[in-house]
Amino acid sequence: MKKLIVQVASSDHKIYAEEICKLIEMSAQQRGTGIAKRTPEYIRQKMEEGKSIIALTGNMLVGFCYIESWSNKKYVANSGLIVKHEFRSTGVATKIKRMAFTHSMELYPNAKLFGLTTSLPVMKINSELGYIPVIYSELTQDEEFWNGCKSCVNYEILTSKNKVNCICTAMLYDPAVKEKKHWNFVKKSKLYERFVEMKKKKLSNKKPVL
């Protein structure tokens, strides 16, 4: 296998946009939860703006992640993290996420970085970077961000809870907090995994509020 290259994507990588969109949709289906669907045009725009990370081995796409800002650039999310199935559990996701984190801090040094995820591997990576679990009210309240959840199968749950709770776990990194709280993910992951399963069952069994 050729050497893995993880880098900030550019307009040179626009040829991968359609494949990336298919992988994002496939990943969402496999998880049974939502990664917001994006169009090839949107992905190409992120590449042109220098707001995405791509992993390649030779000319083969391995993984991808893009950067979005909200609330007048006060909040930043590293979204759409995908890795091809055959490259999972090889550390690629960690490399992409770390570069996305570093690049986000360079682009938006005063912003809070946040994410919503159901993926335990992503939670582990986030915790290593200094993210901690938070309640939804600590995230951006930008309506455009929450509109991105409409493509998720759990969107009715989110709206029935008035956007204060859902299946996803919210995580936040605040660069202004000098004494970072450390969330011991490895120690708590088994307990947390059981909590997530209980949360899914509890929320799924509740009828949406009409």
Give yes or no for a contact between 115 and 77, defined as CB atoms under 8 angstroms apart.
yes
Q: Which string of DSSP letters, residue by residue, matches 11-30?
A: GGGGGGHHHHHHHHHHHHHH
29 lies in some domain: yes
103: domain range?
Answer: 4-205
CATH number at residue 170: 3.40.630.30
Confidence (pLDDT) at 210 = 37
210 lies in some domain: no
Q: How many domains does the chain have?
A: 1
177 lies in some domain: yes
Give whole-number Cα distances, 144 to 136, 140, 190, in Å: 15, 10, 34
Residue 139's Cα: distance from chain center in Å?
A: 13
- pLDDT tens column, 173-192: 999 885 555 555 555 555 55
Read off the pTM. 0.81
Structural tokens at position 82: 């995908």
- pLDDT tens column, 154-178: 888 889 988 888 888 999 999 988 5
Q: Is 159 exposed, middle or buried (0-12, 13-18, 19+ CB in 10 A)?
A: middle
